[in-house]
Structures are given as C-alpha cells and as structure tokens.
Amino acid sequence: MKAVEETDVIIIGGGIAGAGAAFEISRSAKVVLLERESHCGYHTTGRSAASFTENYGNGVIRRIVLASRAFMIQPPTGFSDYPLLSKRGMITVARADQLELLAQDLEAAQALVPSIVAMTPAEAIARVPVLRADYLAGAYIEPHSMDIDVNGLHQGYLRGARARGARAVTNAGVKDIGRQGGQWRVETQAGTFLAPTLVNAAGAWGDEIAVMAGVRAIGLQPKRRTAFNIPAPAGVDITDWPLVNDVGAEFYFKPDAGQLFVSPADATPSAPMDAYAEDMDVAIGAERLEKATTIEVQRVSRSWAGLRTFVADGSPVVGPDDAVPDFVWLVGQGGYGIKTSPALSRVCASLIGGGGLPDDVARQGVALTDLTPQRLRSAQQVSAS
Ligand SMILES: Cc1cc2nc3c(=O)[nH]c(=O)nc-3n(C[C@H](O)[C@H](O)[C@H](O)COP(=O)(O)OP(=O)(O)OC[C@H]3O[C@@H](n4cnc5c(N)ncnc54)[C@H](O)[C@@H]3O)c2cc1C
C-alpha cells in the first residue's frame, strides 16, 4: 500500500503556473506539487513563443506583465545561471487595409508603454529585410520587448521551491479528490496526499480538477495555437531581427535558435488534450508569411501546438473559490502565462497567506476583483437567469 503524505498546500500542475506558485508559497508553507506527466512543462509551458512583450493581451494582463518585469530582470540571487530576458524588440506591421486598426492599436499601446513608437515601412524593412515593400503600409516598434528563457525560469522556480523544502512529484496524475478530516484528500498514481489547501494550476484541465473536487467550473476554454520552425533564409543573419507581429493577429514570426519561429496566431477551441499541429494551420501560417515577406517556405523543420486557456473576459483567475475557499484557482493565463508568472505567483501566495494584492501589483492599477473568480460567478448567474 502506498503511503499517505501530509503537507500544507497541494498544487496540481507542474507547468509555469504551478512551479511559480510552489516557489512563492514554499517561502512560508510546506508544498507538494503534483504533475501527471513524467516531466514538468510538457504541455503549454514547453510550447510557447517565449516572448516578454508589454503590448499583448487585455489591460489587466499588460499591468501584470509590468509588475513581473522587475523579477525577470533581476531574479533572486542563485535563481538562474543566465539572464532570464534577452533583447528582441517587437515590430507590429499593417497592410494598407489595416492602417486604421494600427493607429488605434498604437494609441492604446503607448498609453501603457510610452517607449513604443511609430516607424515607417522603410525603417521596418531596414530591421527585417525580408518584409515586402508592396505589403507593408505601416508599423510601430516596442523596443524593449524581450525573449524569455522559459526553461531557465521554470527550472529556477522548481529548484528554488525544492531548496525551500517543496516536493515536486511527477507521474502523479490526480484521479480523485475528496475530503478527510477537514482536509483535501488527493489520490494520484503516485500515492495519496492530504492538505488543508489545494491550488488548481492544471492549465487546460483546470475545470476538470474543479469538478473532481466538487467545485463549480468557471468556464475555461482551451484554444489551440500552432507554431513551426523553418530554416532561416540562406545567407541572411537573422539573429537580431525583432519579433514581427501582424496587427490583425494573423501571424507572427521571430528568430528561434538559428531558425525562424512562425505562428498563424490561430485560436481554435479545443478540449483539454495533448495538442498537436494540424497540417492546415501550418499551411495557413506559411501562406501568410509568404504574402508578407520574400521568404518561400520550402521545408518545415518542426511543428507543434499548445493550448492557451481562457475564461470569458481574457484575464487570469487567481484566488480562493468563493464557495469553497480552501480551493485556490491559478488558471486562465491564456497566451500570457510565462511573462505574467512572477506577479501571478506572488498574488497566489499572498492570497493563500491571508494577505491582499502585493503592493507593487496594486500600484500598476490591478484590482483584486480583476483576478478573483467572483467576477465570473456574477456573470454566470446573469447568464443563467
Ligand atoms: C504557441 C504558443 C505561444 C505562446 N507564447 C507565449 C509567450 O510568448 N509568452 C507568454 O507569456 N505565454 C505564451 N504562451 C502561453 C503560455 O505558454 C501559457 O499561458 C502557460 O504555459 C500556461 O502555463 P500553465 O502552467 O497554466 O499550463 P501548463 O503548462 O499546460 O501546465 C498545466 C499542467 O497541469 C498538469 N495536469 C493537468 N491535469 C492534471 C492532473 N489531473 N493531475 C496532475 N497534473 C495535471 C498538466 O500535465 C500540465 O503539465 C504561449 C502558448 C502557446 C501555445
């Protein structure tokens, strides 16, 4: 018979959300993190574009990213052997028929990130020479957008949590959640775990975990996003190209370890699953890239897909469930879960410890009610009535 292990906090999910939460919560409590796969980060966390832009996602997301920057630039001593951020820059481009959208987008972008400035098509082409002059009608640049060392960040969280006494258990798929003596009793392939507090960081599976625990689902919708690598154009040094993003969210591309990373920016609703790239989505991405640039896609070296999981308002859900307060949500990070993880992890730990929003997060203009699940419950009640 497998032993029963008691702890203060059980976290379900070993992606960036669960790892970040383990890092912060283990400062003051004993943590066990349970991951179904044989290694943490197998699902969405290991499939991202690794971009730290302050100009993507709704207003709440952007403010949380601003509150995450300091940690990314200067993580705690010993957290990582290498810098977590490296220079990239991001150019948003528009065709003639998208110029109005570009102007609106630029105005909204500058309100939060004043370093963003308009650039001429010629200036954009000087930075990324494959952009077609007959395609490009306008552009702007976010000069301080960065690349994230996702593995460095993820492993830093896990290593730091372990150093504070946390335990990450892999091959520990949660099969049943019940109660025992006022605590949560979590049954997994790797044994049984008891704790007074349960954190749901299960990504696309977040609602399934809630239902297993007898908690009402919050309406998580996983959406598939496809990405693929192609060889860099022959004889061209792409190392310093910025990320190029279409203002209408039809494609983006950036250098990726000597190759180009390309995405059709798709968002196809999906069930929670081990997502994979559909040939059609890769073909759409290649076609859009070829329209905007002089690149001819001859070979795709690798393709993959991941699930970006959202609730209705596009903001993350962090905090105790309104009806079951020892069940804590940490889900709905959508396409922004890596870059928001420093601040969201601290918010989660603070709420579990009985505190409110960390001061620096509040100073960015985020309200607790922007994040807690109550906002979704009110909407659920309206739609049910
Ligand atoms: C193509 C693409 C590009 C992206 N680009 C960016 C970007 O540039 N910047 C950015 O910040 N974000 C980006 N994202 C989004 C980001 O990757 C996600 O928001 C983030 O990884 C979500 O992390 P997570 O820990 O919530 O989910 P996951 O990494 O999916 O982790 C959830 C974990 O829970 C585990 N789990 C589920 N059910 C159980 C169970 N029953 N028992 C035990 N464990 C369970 C799963 O196995 C999984 O490991 C991108 C995503 C994609 C797909």
CB-count exposure of residue 111 (10 Å: 0-12, 13-18, 19+): exposed
Residue 199 pLDDT exceeds 70: yes
Give yes or no for a contact between 224 and 285, defined as CB atoms under 8 angstroms apart: no
Per DSSP, the residues of 27-75 read TTS-EEEE-SSSSTTTTGGGGS--EE-SSSS-HHHHHHHHHHHHHHHSP
Q: How far is CA 319 from CA 9, 32, 313, 322, 379, in A?
A: 14, 18, 16, 9, 17
Query: Distance, CA 49 to ligand 1 centroid (Å)?
Result: 12
Indicate the Cα dihedral angle 145, 150, 154, 160, nearest 10°: -60
Specify the residue with its C-alpha closest to ligand 1, atom 2. 48
Number of the ligand 1 atom closest to the C-alpha atom of 275: 53
CA–CA separation, 269 and 289 (whole Å): 23
Nearest atom within ligand 1 for CA of residue 338: 11
- CA 301 to ligand 1 center in whole angstroms: 23
Q: Cα-Cα-Cα-Cα dihedral of 261, 136, 237, 259, to 10°? A: 10
Report the greatest alpha carbon distance in the chain: 69
Cβ–Cβ under 8 Å, residues 293 and 283? no
**Alpha carbon nearest to ligand 1 atom 31, residue:** 15
Q: Which residue, of 271, 294, 310, is where some domain finishes?
A: 310
Q: Is 144 in the pocket of ligand 1 (CB under 6 A)?
A: no
Residues 296 and 233 in one domain: yes
Element of type H or E holding 92? strand 90-94
Same domain, yes or no: 208 and 243: no
2 pLDDT more than 80 = no
1 has pLDDT over 60: no
Residues 341 and 380 in one domain: yes
Indicate if 240 and 297 belong to the same structural domain: yes
Query: Is there a domain that residue 35 lies in?
Result: yes
Q: Is the predicted pLDDT of residue 384 greater than 80, yes or no?
A: no
Q: Is 223 in the pocket of ligand 1 (CB under 6 A)?
A: no
Q: Tell whether 46 is covered by a domain.
A: yes
Same domain, 99 and 246: yes
Q: Is the CB of 173 under 6 A from ligand 1?
A: yes
Q: Which of 261, 285, 310 is the last residue of a domain?
A: 310
- Cβ of 316 closer than 6 Å to ligand 1, yes or no, is no
Which of 149, 278, 308 is the pocket-test mutation for ligand 1 (most atoms within 8 Å of CB)? 308
Domain membership flag for residue 60: no
Is residue 77 included in any domain, yes or no? no
Q: Is 272 among the domain residues?
A: yes
Least confident among 3-7, 222-226, 271-275, 377-381: 377-381
Specify the pLDDT at position 382.
62
Instruction: Let me know whether 290 and 248 are in one domain.
Output: yes
SS (H, E, C) 110-130: HHHCCCCEEECHHHHHHHCCC
226 & 338 share domain: no
CATH classification at residue 201: 3.50.50.60
What 3-state class would DSSP assign to 334? strand
- Measured CA to CA, the distance from residue 5 to residue 185 in angstroms comes to 10
Domain assignment present for 62: no
Q: Is the pLDDT of residue 181 over 90?
A: yes
CA of 267 to the centre of ligand 1 (A): 15
pLDDT level of residue 383 (50, 70, 90 thresholds): low
Q: Does ligand 1 lie within 6 Å of residue 186's CB atom?
A: no
Atom 12 (ligand 1) nearest CA: 336
Angle between the 99-112 and 59-73 helix axes, to the nearest 10 degrees? Answer: 50
Q: What is the CATH number of the domain that holds 116?
A: 3.30.9.10
Out of 310, 343, 368, a domain closes at 310
Residue 81 lies in a domain: no
Pair (272, 158) in one structural domain: no
> Does some domain include residue 73?
no
pLDDT at 100: 98
230 with 285, same domain: the answer is: yes
212 alpha carbon – ligand 1 mean position (Å): 20
**159 alpha carbon to ligand 1 midpoint, in Å?**
19
Domain that holds residue 325: 4-50+150-219+313-384
List the beta bridge partners of residue 117.
141
What would the pLDDT profile of 44-101 be if each residue is shown by its tens digit?
999 999 999 999 999 999 999 999 999 999 999 999 999 999 999 999 999 999 999 9
Average pLDDT across the chain, whole number: 97
Helices assigned H by DSSP within the chain: 16-25, 59-73, 99-112, 121-127, 150-163, 206-212, 279-292, 341-352, 359-363, 368-371, 374-384
Instruction: Name which residue sits closest to atom 3 of ligand 1, judged by CA.
Output: 48
320 and 199 share one domain: yes
The number of folded domains in the chain is: 2
Q: Are 207 and 265 within one domain?
A: no
Give the tens place of pLDDT for each residue, 296-315.
999 999 999 999 999 999 99
CB of 222 closer than 6 A to ligand 1?
no
Atom of ligand 1 nearest to the CA of 45: 21
What pLDDT does residue 377 have?
A: 85
Q: Are residues 100 and 113 in the same domain?
A: yes
Residues 249-282 pLDDT 10s = 999 999 999 999 999 999 999 999 999 999 999 9
Pairing of strands 259-263, 327-331: unpaired
